[in-house]
Each structure stands twice: as structure tokens, then as C-alpha cells.
A and B are shown apart, each in its own frame.
Chain A
Amino acid sequence: MPSLKDVQNKIAGVKKTAQITKAMNMVASARLRGAQDKMEAFRPYTSKFNEAMSNLSGGANTDSFPLMEVRDVKTVELVLVTSDRGLCGSFNANIAKLANKKIEEYEAEGKTVTLVCVGKKGFGSFKKSGKVRTKYTDIMAGFQMFNAREIAQDISQNFINGGCDKVEVIYGHFKSVARQIPVAEDMLPITPVVIEGEAVAKMSGDYIYEPSTEEIMDVMQPLYLNVIIYHAMLEVGASEHAARMTSMDNATKACKDIVKDLTLIYNKARQAAVTGELMDIVGGAEALKG
């Protein structure tokens, strides 16, 4: 039987924990709004970009661009985008799980896998595997386009140099506040973007290109990679906060349950003590009478 003081201390401790998790939940929900705004602001850029890309790459010859070159796949590079900080439930673990699955698949086919880790948590999971080529940690808190550009440049350089023949990005897709799904997307070689329906017909008109289509493509392809990386980072940013919100909410609820249970134990112990004391008093009085 724990002493009364012990239980009291325990209750106070759990209550403090609940306070912290509650605060983290509120911080996460505020940050989530910011991250969602950022995603929203980026949307027009991507849609315009894809429109122009599809217009350009429709007639493009894939062999003439080093970033579109399709080779025999011997080495696959996985770009793992995770959060820098933990305490967000199984969010990062799920991304790592998908990455592990992919690694197993590719290795079963006899391919080598290298990793680029964006975000500290992903790096933590694969540090010991010896597959990590480069890492970019502590940038998820307030990243900008130039962070994405740096990463994309490094990856495309490696691809052109023959360091890998295929690149995939793995990140946590922000489906809704309650659901974040790890997804894998092809990044390199670049496949021509195709927008269905009306847009294509409208776009393939008589455009004046300055400079030539090929040279424009040379400028746009690296930008396109930036867009992919930046997009993945935005998604992870929003997903991370959403995941933290849910897990902190759960933690707060769990704390409340524990406090309830502990209070019950405390009251029982207190009652037992009171009964015990009463027995003593009654016993003493009886003894005096006799």
C-alpha cells in the first residue's frame, strides 16, 4: 500500500505533465495553421508550374536532358523527409517503416540503396544502417525555398554524375488533421508532366519561346526538382504538427485518466487511515472504561 504522501506527489506530477501536453497541443495547433497557410500559398505556384512544364515537356525528347535520362537502375536513392522533433506519435516511425519496406524491395531485386535524410528523425532511424549519403537536419523549423534548392541541387548533381539511377521521395502526406499517410513519389529521372483534358489542348499553341524550348527546359527542370522537395517539406511540416496535436491530445486524456485512478487510490488509503485511527481511539476508550 503506497503512503498517502506518495500518492499525493504522484497526482501532482501527473497533473503537471497534463499541463505540458495541453500546452504542446495548443502550440502545435497554432503552428499547424501557419504550416497550412504556407501550403496554401504554394499551391498556385505548383499548379502554374505544372501547367507550363506539361506544355513544354509534351514534345520533348527524353534523351537530350541529363535529368530525364532513363538508365538501367542499379542504385536507388531515397529522399527521406521527416520532422526534426519527436513527440508526434508514430508519424516519423511510419515514414521510416515505408522507407524500410522500399529498401527491402529494392535490395531483393539486387539494387543498392542510398539515403538522403531531410529532418533529424529520419536520420536517427537510419544512422546505423550505413546507407545515409547526406543529411540535412535542423532545417524543418523555418525552412525556405533556398533550403529545398540546396537539397535538390545536391541530388541532381549526384544523379548526373551517375551516383544513382533513380530517386524517390518519401514523406508524410498531409491528408487531413487526423490522417497523415507516408507516401513515396518518383523524382528522378523526370517524367513528362501530363495534365489531362482541356489544359493540354489549350497550351500547345503557337508560343514564342525565348530562348529555345530546350534551353528553357534546362532552366525549368532544376526548378521543378526544387518544387518537389519544397512540396514534400511543406507536407511534412503540416503533418508533423497535426500528428503532434493528436498525440498530445491523447496524452492529455491519458493523464486525466491516471489522475482519476490515483485519486481513487488516494481516497481509499485516506479512508483506511481514518478507520484505523478511529479503531485505535475506540479501543483506547474501552480499555480505560474497564
Chain B
Amino acid sequence: MAQQIRLEVVTPNGAVVNEDVDIVNAPGYGGDFGVLANHAPFLSTIKIGLLTYEQGKQRQSLMISGGFSEVSNNKITFLVESAEFGKEIDVDRAMKAKERAEKRLSQAAAHDEKFNQTRAEAALQRALARIKASKIA
């Protein structure tokens, strides 16, 4: 049996995942990164996106939004604002959110409203990440 790393995903509403896994893939600041057992101490900010991990042959995916992650002592901790399992995501809702965000984005761009634009962008990213996560599950 290959060595495993402990994965913890913590949100303000409580811990979502607390398991030993083989590999973790996450959307870091400078692009996606993968973490295996006994990784060197590491700290990175996390973007909205897809977190996947493998346990044996099983693959799980979560949609996570903004926060950071820390690797130390063969443990990887994600502190994120929200985390949802791919299989629990309501795809229709995400699709609708995506359309809504796209519409708002084009509107905000037309009127040059910077604040609304960043908000719509974040909403769009979340919607896209949700759709992606639900497809993998």
C-alpha cells in the first residue's frame, strides 16, 4: 500500500473532509498543484475551482471557493469559504447561475461598473467550478 496523506477540508460551517488519501489536486494561486504523501511544508492561496483527491481507485471531486491551504507533517489542510461535493451539486441551478452571471458580466462591462464586474466574475467562476465538479462525480 502506497503512503497516504491526511486531507482536511475546513469551512466556516464545519469540516467537510477528514480522510487519508493517495493524492490531492487543487487550484492554487499559480495554477493547479498536486500533493502526494510526505510533501514539503507548503502554503498557498486557493482560487475558486475544483479539488480532486484519490483514495485507492476512488476519485472524489469538490468545488471549493477562495481560501488557502497548508501542507505540514504529512497533512494537507484547506481553509476555504465553501466546499461542496460534486455529487451533491444541483447542476440545473449551477447552469442557471452561470447564465445569470454571464448576463450580468456583459451588462457590467457595458456600463463600466467595476465592482459589479468582479462580483459577477466570481459568481461565474463558482458556477463553472460547480458544473465541472458535478461532471466528474
> Can you name the residue of chain B whose Cβ is closest to the Cβ of A42?
B12
> Can you name the residue of chain A whose Cβ is closest to the Cβ of B46?
A219
> Can you name the residue of chain A whose Cβ is closest to the Cβ of B15?
A44
- In the complex, chain B residues whose CB is within 8 Å of the CB of A207: 41-43, 72
Number of A-B contacts (CB under 8 A): 72
| Bound form: Cα–Cα A206–B30 in Å | 20
Task: Determine if B68 and A208 form an interchain contact, defined as CB atoms under 8 angstroms apart.
Answer: no
Task: Determine if B12 and A230 form an interchain contact, defined as CB atoms under 8 angstroms apart.
Answer: yes
Stretch binding the partner chain, chosen from A45-53, A163-171, A189-197, A274-282: A45-53
Task: Determine if B68 and A211 form an interchain contact, defined as CB atoms under 8 angstroms apart.
Answer: no
- In the complex, chain A residues whose CB is within 8 Å of the CB of B82: 145
Give which listed residue, B13, B30, B79, contacts A211 with CB less than 8 A.
B30
Q: Nearest-CB distance from A71 to chain B (Å)?
A: 26
Contact size range, B: 20 to 34
- In the complex, chain A residues whose CB is within 8 Å of the CB of B70: 48, 52
> Can you name the residue of chain A whose Cβ is closest to the Cβ of B28?
A210
Give which listed residue, B10, B40, B45, contacts A48 with CB less than 8 A.
B10
> Can you name the residue of chain A whose Cβ is closest to the Cβ of B18?
A44
Query: CB within 8 Å of B: which of A176-232?
Result: 203, 205-211, 215-216, 219-220, 223, 227, 230
Task: Determine if A45 and B68 form an interchain contact, defined as CB atoms under 8 angstroms apart.
Answer: no
**Interface residue SS majority, chain A:** helix
Task: Determine if A216 and B10 form an interchain contact, defined as CB atoms under 8 angstroms apart.
Answer: no
Task: Determine if B43 and A41 form an interchain contact, defined as CB atoms under 8 angstroms apart.
Answer: no
> Can you name the residue of chain B whose Cβ is closest to the Cβ of A56?
B43
Q: Nearest-CB distance from A115 to chain B (Å)?
A: 24
- In the complex, chain B residues whose CB is within 8 Å of the CB of A49: 79
- In the complex, chain A residues whose CB is within 8 Å of the CB of B43: 52, 55-56, 207-210, 216
| Bound form: Cα–Cα A77–B72 in Å | 38
Task: Determine if A145 and B12 form an interchain contact, defined as CB atoms under 8 angstroms apart.
Answer: yes
Residues of B within 8 A of A (CB): 10-15, 28-30, 33, 40-45, 66-68, 70, 72, 77, 79, 81-82
Residues of A within 8 A of B (CB): 38, 41-42, 44-45, 48-49, 52, 55-56, 145, 149, 203, 205-211, 215-216, 219-220, 223, 227, 230
